[in-house]
Chain A
Amino acid sequence: MTASAKPPLVVIDGVHKRFLHEGRSVQILEGIDLVIERGEMLSVVGPSGAGKSTLLHILGTLDLPTAGRILYDGQDVTRYSPGRLATFRNYSLGFVFQAHHLLPEFTALENVMMPGMIRGGARAALARRAEALLTEVGLGHRLTHRPGELSGGEQARVALARALVLEPMLVLADEPTGNLDSKTSESIHALFFDLNRRRGTTFLIVTHNNELADSMPRKVSMRDGRIESDLRRFSYSGPFRDGPSEREPTLDPTDPPG
């Protein structure tokens, strides 16, 4: 592991997740170790039930791991209080969900403004920013439409704009184009790459879409709660310049994941 002035953006350290289902313990994640660097774009693929979404939720602090640590900038967020976690999510993370999860009572513009309003920003400044962002994703003409009046692709764009509005350090996307047609999906994917290139936003995208996964610089495959493979397609300007590697080095070599 190369020493760096700054710790990696995210370090997932031996995360286990177990659910109690009808009295039986179900193991969802069995020791995940992953390091995500700033500006990376990685896709997480794997069959249904592999634990991709659970990993994303735990990474997004919406759920707590049964064991293990999540380090953001070297800080263990699993020890945060709920209030601090909420603030952390607001300041550091952006979510894009398959179902988009826009607030139905609010217009597209208000939906994009929402994270800023939760933070307590001035509405006028937020509105300007949200409008600019919506124009950027090609929705400048849909500002006052409610989610119900938008098409699936448009909703996905609004959700993306909402995830980006506060310039988070990490955007977590759970099958963002899962129920969109291929043409719309491609334009959204292009948007991801464009934003990564221009803003340096880090993306973690859980997807079933092989085309998308293959086009991403890094592809993490999961199976049965473990990481099956971790491939880097292209080199990038991060600390790891040695090209694609089969296994990400673990933080604690004495505890290699099974």
Chain B
Amino acid sequence: MSRSAPATIALWLGAFACVVGGVAAGVFAPPPYGLGGVALVLFGGGFVHALARRPRGGRRADELRVGWPVLVLCLFALLEAPIVLGIVLPFMTLGVVLEAPHLVPAYALGPVAGVGLLLSILLLIRMGRHATGTHGRVRATLVAVGMLLRSAGFAIGAVVLSLALTDPNALMLGLGLEERLMPVGQMPAIVESFRLVTGAQGTFRLLQVALVLSGAGFAIELFGCITCWFLLPLGFRRAFWAVFDVLALAGFVVVTLLLPIRPAASAPNEITLPSIRLATTTIFLIRVLFRFIPIALDGIEQFGLRALVAARMMRAKKSGFLTAIGALSILAVSFSSCTLTTTLSVMGGFRNDLKQKILGNNAHVVIDRERGTFDGWAPVLATVRGVDQVVAATPYVQGEVMITSSTNLGGAVIRGIDPDTIGDVTDLPRNLRHGQMDYLREPERLLRLRPAEMGAGLLRPLVPADDGPRGSLLDEVADVLDTASPPAGTPRDEDSERIARDIDEFLFDDEEAPARPAAAPAAPDVLPGLIVGQELARTLRLHVGDEVNVVSPLGELGPTGPMPRSRPFRIAGIFYSGMYEFDMKMAYTTLEAAQSFLNVGQAITGIEVKVRDTDRAEPVAIAIASALGERSLRVRAWQEVNRNLFGALQLEKLAMFITLGIAILVASFCIVGTLSLMVQEKRREVGILKAMGTTGEQIVSVFMIQGLMIGSLGAATGLGLGYLSCFIMEHFGIHLNPEVYYIDRLPVHIDPSEFAATGIAAVVVCLLATIYPAILGSRLPPLDALRSS
């Protein structure tokens, strides 16, 4: 293994190449490559340092003594070198292809990085051989293998992506119209575009292979680096963490003072600053947790002998395998409880969303008859309003009808309401997207609408969010118009309304102009107002002020039987409730208009009641029923009306809790393994303790407390992680396809009681898991342990 002079010179040159190349990359290259450059500088510096410290005379000439600073620098460089090699080298070609000459010097550093990579592998193997013994050799080789795999993966991937970029359609395919106009922040679409292009070029498989290679390489490398970390001197590691913790604390203070915790309302997609704050806070909290563990163990030690012995055993230096499996079992408990809380929170979010929508659109308590309508409702209404806990009540009359517009027809439920009191009971007035409740009372105002008020029911996207469904060309145009309106997310102004309206008329004018009431030359009649849901308006292509025909199947008796009754209404408003059923089926008009149309005289179908506390609607319903004292009237709370729905949701949640609870159970198997191993490793201690008179019950407790500590730590970190992921989902949002879910982002509802239940369940399961190994430990014969020495 003696090194010849030329080899030494080559190594020196390589080291200097690294330094020079790294500096150049840091100065010229764009930021991601610059980081690689910095790494190269560090690496080169470390290498030169190592060479300079090579002992002369006395020792073997080839012996390379490296101190820990070099080891650290090299490890850091090793992480970055493959990135530099994999990305810079192929992109150098690309730089020429894209004719960006000013970047070529930076890209030309690829070969330098290649040299760096080669040298770092050589150095690793050398270090492993001479500086850190057999363990170090294995671990360093592991890192080297990981590096090679990752470099290969990056190289293949970069070549494939470079080829894909040469395709003129690259970055464009798979993008929606609006994204093509504004291709900013559309990562998924860009990924999709790459997928399509590579698929067409036949390199998709290769890309997948590259991803797998780099992923596996990265994992191996990470593992190797973590194991190498423990080869470093303890003093250095302590110092590192001390510095790290000070920085983390400073960072935490700075971000808490300076950065917002959630995206600004004006730019909900600008999540960089909140993300930085969240990440810094998380790192800080994790470090606090780690710093807190010894203090917590000190505290636990005060709780008697069992806790003392258990805490000391946890702290004791253990074999590598036991340490690894112990860490694994904490991680397993942590991840399973994290998954459980997150899932429950999302399901709770869906449930809450549904509940809110149901409560917003329905009364909390409904009073009606099993069938038919009832007269003389005024005293009933007065009685109901007098009941304790009742906030408001309003009468309604309801019937099934068909609504026909000039272009289409659809079934609906017409509901006559009292416009003055409906707002006290349901959210209808607040859900109006276009038009006003007043138009129901004063339908003549519908004839003097300003264009802006008409609203483009047809052109509205399904959901008032930026990314509506892209079903047709029309919708795309609509979306473009939506995104084009100056501040995204704010209600559109009059101009864009008018434009929308104009486009709508332009697109449909030829075939529909004769049918449009707005275009009718005769003076339009004053018609009763009708408020329809957004989906119905979409289907029927309705705008505020449009005239529709409402047909009731149950009319007067004609010569041939019942004749359908038909009457024109004018659209007074369009609402969006968030519930597809409602938006598709409900049509509201005044009580009087509905009563005369449905031919029920003064009768009503029922009374809708709002109560103070929605969760206590059922007792209020009972109170109302007893106050009315009339058997023919049915009083039902919202829970009863929607019992099937919520029952199903509850069952689903329970099933999910059990299924994911099994994940915790599986994680607890890991604890069984850990503790069994612990029992084996601590045979001697158990024997000594027993010789001194420790009872079996005390030994059982010692091991159960250890399992409890593992479980608690896992559960605590798991709940923290779960809260973090829920927080991220809640504030940064995960977008859903609104066509499928009818909501635009994943709803999250953080329920502290669910977190507590998960935590308790995890700890209990872990405690149960400790029983077997603990009994195993208590049964260890003391003699075996004492003899074994």
Contact = CB atoms under 8 A, between A and B. Distances in A.
Interface in B285-333: 304-305, 308, 312-313, 315-316
Contact of B693 (A97, A102, A105, A119): A119
A102 B684 CA distance: 10
Contact of B695 (A63, A83, A114): A83
A114 to B, nearest CB: 6
Given A57-B783, A62-B782, A104-B316, A117 B691 contact: no
A60 B691 contact: yes
Contacts of B782: 62
Contacts of B692: 89-90, 95, 114-115, 118, 162
A46 B238 CA distance: 53
A89 B696 CA distance: 13
A74 interface: no
B725 interface: no
A137 interface: no
A105 B786 contact: no
A89 B316 CA distance: 26
Interface in A101-120: 101-106, 114-115, 117-120
A117 B308 contact: yes
Contact of A101 (B313, B684, B694): B684
B505 interface: no
A99 B782 CA distance: 14
Interface residues of A, number: 29
Given A63-B783, A86-B694, A105-B316, A118 B689 contact: yes
A83 B691 contact: no
Contacts of B690: 62, 86
Given A101-B684, A105-B316, A62 B695 contact: no
A47 interface: no
B305 A117 contact: yes
B691 A89 contact: yes
A200 B698 CA distance: 32
A91 B694 CA distance: 11
A238 interface: no
B697 interface: yes
A49 B305 CA distance: 37
B688 interface: yes
A75 interface: no
Contacts of B685: 103-105
Nearest to B316: A105
B306 to A, nearest CB: 10
Given A101-B789, A105-B315, A118 B693 contact: yes
A29 to B, nearest CB: 14
Nearest to A162: B692
Interface in B675-693: 684-685, 687-693
A243 interface: no
A89 B693 contact: yes
Interface in A74-91: 82-83, 86-91
B684 to A, nearest CB: 7
B688 A101 contact: yes
Interface in A136-189: 162
Contacts of B308: 117
Contacts of A95: 691-692
Contacts, number: 71
B740 to A, nearest CB: 57
Nearest to B688: A101
B693 A90 contact: yes
Nearest to A114: B692
A63 B690 CA distance: 12
Interface string B609-635: 000000000000000000000000000
A95 B316 CA distance: 24
Interface string B197-223: 000000000000000000000000000
Most chain A beta-carbon neighbours within 10 Å: one of B308, B313, B315, B698: B308
Contacts of A102: 688
A106 B308 CA distance: 10
Interface string B533-572: 0000000000000000000000000000000000000000
Given A62-B782, A101-B688, A101-B786, A91 B305 contact: no
B774 to A, nearest CB: 16
Contact of A97 (B304, B695, B786): B786
B305 A120 contact: yes
Contacts of A114: 689, 692
Nearest to B691: A95
Interface of B is mostly: helix
Given A62-B782, A101-B786, A118-B305, A91 B693 contact: yes
A104 B383 CA distance: 80
A86 B305 contact: no
Nearest to B699: A86
A257 to B, nearest CB: 25
A118 B308 CA distance: 11
Contacts of A115: 692-693
B679 to A, nearest CB: 15
Contacts of A97: 786, 789
Interface string A42-69: 0000000000000001001011000000
Contact of B783 (A62, A90, A91): A62
A82 B697 CA distance: 10
Given A105-B312, A106-B312, A118 B786 contact: no
Interface in A15-65: 57, 60, 62-63
B316 A86 contact: no
Contacts of B786: 57, 62, 97, 99, 101
A42 to B, nearest CB: 20
A88 B684 CA distance: 21
A106 B682 CA distance: 14
Contacts of B783: 57, 62-63
Contacts of A162: 692
Contacts of B315: 105
B687 to A, nearest CB: 8
A75 B316 CA distance: 40
Most chain A beta-carbon neighbours within 10 Å: one of B312, B687, B696, B786: B786
A86 B688 contact: no
B780 to A, nearest CB: 12
Contacts of A89: 691-693
Most chain A beta-carbon neighbours within 10 Å: one of B688, B694, B789: B688
Interface string B652-685: 0000000000000000000000000000000011
Contacts of A118: 305, 689, 692-694, 698
B312 A83 contact: no
A117 B698 CA distance: 12
A177 to B, nearest CB: 16
Contacts of A91: 693
Given A117-B305, A117-B308, A62 B691 contact: yes
A99 B787 CA distance: 10
Most chain A beta-carbon neighbours within 10 Å: one of B685, B691, B696, B786: B691
B789 A87 contact: no
Nearest to A174: B786
A87 B102 CA distance: 84
A102 B688 CA distance: 8
Nearest to B311: A105
A86 B696 contact: yes
A82 B696 contact: yes
A201 to B, nearest CB: 17
A154 B71 CA distance: 39
12 contacts: A57-B783, A82-B695, A86-B694, A87-B695, A95-B692, A101-B688, A103-B312, A103-B685, A103-B688, A105-B316, A117-B308, A118-B305
Interface of A: 57, 60, 62-63, 82-83, 86-91, 93, 95, 97, 99, 101-106, 114-115, 117-120, 162
Given A82-B696, A86-B694, A99-B789, 14 more contacts: A62-B782, A83-B695, A90-B693, A90-B694, A91-B693, A97-B786, A97-B789, A101-B688, A103-B312, A103-B689, A104-B685, A105-B312, A105-B685, A118-B698
